[in-house]
Structure 1
Amino acid sequence: MSTKGTPAQADEFWLFGYGSLIWKPPPHFDRRIPGWVTGYVRRFWQVRASQDHRGTPSAPGRVVTLITRSFWSQLTDHHDSAPSRVWGVAYRIALDKVAEVKEYLDIREINGYTIHYTPFHAAAGVDPSLLPQHGPFKTLVYIGTPDNDQFVGPQDPQQLAEHIYRSTGPSGPNRDYLWGLEQALNELSPESGDEHVTDLSDRLRAIAAREEKDGRDRSVSPELVMQREQQHHQQHHEFTRVCSIDEQEETERTS
């Protein structure tokens, strides 16, 4: 596990989630702020085959990672455009729980991911009193860089969609991860959609419709997808309530 950069605020610890962390939060957070980072592109180019994720060693699933825009611009990507902002969520972790949360995240994100620090921009309308400073602030983020052996790089979108549709693991079907990410992003802001995620989700829906028509798969309705995601989340964590300045946030802690 390597680390790039240094945090700017010694008295606060903020974590940026751009994948499943958006809807499956870390433990012990007391603030959740929607917003974005720049200089990166989000892609489903990371293998996930560990024992608690969306694939198996023989059939690894795919999850998102961030790659620098400068590196991405040198590649031949079938999705040849990307939003300038990568939307997600920043979580403030209670100071006395930072070490515990880092240990939890190192286990959760250790498969090919490294630690970086990047400026985070809060969405318009966020109460300034909830932020550590005026303007962007540093957040920790886990990124699967191109030099790790879990990084697969550009793929044909239809082949990638077919692979995601077929992959499954102890955390559930890989397609649930993709659809869960699409829904979570769309709920952040009218501007927070991601063309790469949306296109793959549309392709999966077309595959699901084809499979259902042929009578091979009747388990992919949106209601069942979210039910599976919620059940998996509840199996691994229990929730308590904590107070922020002017709202209550849902805090997850390890069981």
Structure 2
Amino acid sequence: MAASLQGHQVHPNGRTWKTHFPKGDLWVFGYGSLIWKPPPHYGKIMISTLESGLNPKNKPESNLNFPGNPKTAITTRNKPADNSRGVFNQASTDHRGTPEQPGRVVTVIEREFWKTLDDPLAKTESESASTKVWGAAYHIPASHAEEVHDYLDEREVDGYSAHFTPFYPVSASGSESGPETITDLSVSAQSSTCMVYIGQPSNPQFLREYARREPQDVAQVISAGHGASGKNTEYLFLLEKALEGIGLGSADVHVTDLVRRVKGIEARSLAEREEEEAEREVERNLAGEPEGERRGSIE
């Protein structure tokens, strides 16, 4: 379903976001398409990382709980997002796929729950900075906060819901010899609350089957996916370039690995198409000329 600002409706009594933003303005954290296609009316952007963990003192700041561990909420102020994970575990039946052939898009899940999934990526991951959830935080002025909330509710309709959690601004510095890398990033000790859209494991588009989460299977699905917003490969490639563009370089190893796999699939597909075309050309040449009278290139 394509997102639109048309038909804006205000829901003054049906939302709780103002309890997290008493001044009426809004911070929105984007970790997928919102990095390269920001929400409207934002006045400030900060490169950021989400925060995760459990801190009872901060519990009212978040309503984000995960199945299998109902007491866990993204609320801690001690440690940036080592305890949450961005993964392509969300099927897309609208923007990057169809109900008949769903695509794959990113969601965030709590790391302890992620470990229970026996995820294939666990074999190649370490508890390093590259496992944080990186993205961009957008400041929305109070005059447009409800409108942007409506817009995002429609844009993120396919299994996502709004949650509230602290985020940490990130500063980047690097050399002129190449793109900045994860080692160039400095995470602030000060956090602020943001609204973030997450496809929780309880939503119907979340993929729990091991085989459907295997990286090569994800890459195969992405390489063939297409929805209302375009090709699934475009989503992946734009995410990679957006992370590079905001100074995060290869911050997300999951993204860079999928890009490599999808490009490999595309290269093989191109080679196969060229081989098939060569076979057809040979068949046409042989069918169109009697034996002994064939002409053309000798190479």
Q: Structure 2-normalised TM-score?
A: 0.65
DSSP-derived class of the 1:124 partner: strand
For 1:30, the equivalent position in structure 2 comes to 43
CA distance in 2, matches of 1:134, 1:158: 37
Pairing partner for 2:31 from 18, 21, 37: 18
For 2:206, the equivalent position in structure 1 comes to 151
* Structure 2 residue 225 is the aligned partner of structure 1 residue 167: yes
For 2:159, the equivalent position in structure 1 comes to 112
For 2:96, the equivalent position in structure 1 comes to 54
When residues 13 and 190 of structure 1 are mapped into structure 2, their CA distance, relative to the original with a 3 A threshold, is: closer
8 Å contact 2:47–2:171 — kept in the other structure?
no
Deviates more, 1:137-146 or 1:183-192: 183-192
CA distance in 2, matches of 1:3, 1:163: 36
Deviations 1:19-55 (A, max 9, x none): 00000000100001111111310000101112xx111
DSSP-derived class of the 1:29 partner: coil
Instruction: State the AA in 2 paired with 1:169.
Output: G
DSSP-derived class of the 1:89 partner: strand
CA distance in 1, matches of 2:232, 2:119: 22
Displacement of 1:12 in angstroms is: 2.9
CA distance in 1, matches of 2:143, 2:39: 14
Is there any run of 5+ residues in structure 1 with no aligned partner, and where? 127-132, 217-255
CA distance in 2, matches of 1:124, 1:56: 38
Deviations 1:104-137 (A, max 9, x none): 00000021111111111111269xxxxxx98110
Q: Count residues with an aligned counterpart.
A: 208
CA distance in 2, matches of 1:2, 1:32: 24
Q: Which has the larger radius of gyration?
A: 2
8 Å contact 1:121–1:137 — kept in the other structure?
yes
Instruction: State the AA in 1 paired with 2:20.
Output: P
Displacement of 1:9 in angstroms is: 5.1
Displacement of 1:5 in angstroms is: 11
* Structure 2 residue 237 is the aligned partner of structure 1 residue 179: yes
Instruction: State the AA in 2 paired with 1:61.
Output: G
When residues 102 and 8 of structure 1 are mapped into structure 2, their CA distance, relative to the original with a 3 A threshold, is: closer
CA distance in 2, matches of 1:158, 1:124: 33
When residues 210 and 84 of structure 1 are mapped into structure 2, their CA distance, relative to the original with a 3 A threshold, is: closer
8 Å contact 1:6–1:117 — kept in the other structure?
no
Deviates more, 1:2-11 or 1:168-177: 2-11
For 1:41, the equivalent position in structure 2 comes to 85
8 Å contact 1:9–1:138 — kept in the other structure?
no
CA distance in 1, matches of 2:109, 2:16: 15
Deviates more, 1:187-196 or 1:143-152: 187-196
Matches within 5 A, 1:64-143: 64-80=106-122, 81=125, 83-124=130-171, 135-143=190-198
For 1:213, the equivalent position in structure 2 comes to 271
Is there any run of 5+ residues in structure 2 with no aligned partner, and where? 1-13, 51-80, 174-187, 275-299
DSSP-derived class of the 1:58 partner: coil
8 Å contact 1:62–1:164 — kept in the other structure?
yes
Instruction: State the AA in 2 paired with 1:85.
Output: K
8 Å contact 2:172–2:247 — kept in the other structure?
no
When residues 84 and 209 of structure 1 are mapped into structure 2, their CA distance, relative to the original with a 3 A threshold, is: closer
Q: Structure 1-normalised TM-score?
A: 0.75
8 Å contact 1:3–1:115 — kept in the other structure?
no
Instruction: State the AA in 2 paired with 1:27.
Output: P
Instruction: State the AA in 1 paired with 2:33.
Output: S
Instruction: State the AA in 2 paired with 1:209.
Output: A
Displacement of 1:8 in angstroms is: 5.2
Question: What is the CA RMSD across the aligned residues, in angstroms?
Answer: 2.5
8 Å contact 2:153–2:161 — kept in the other structure?
no
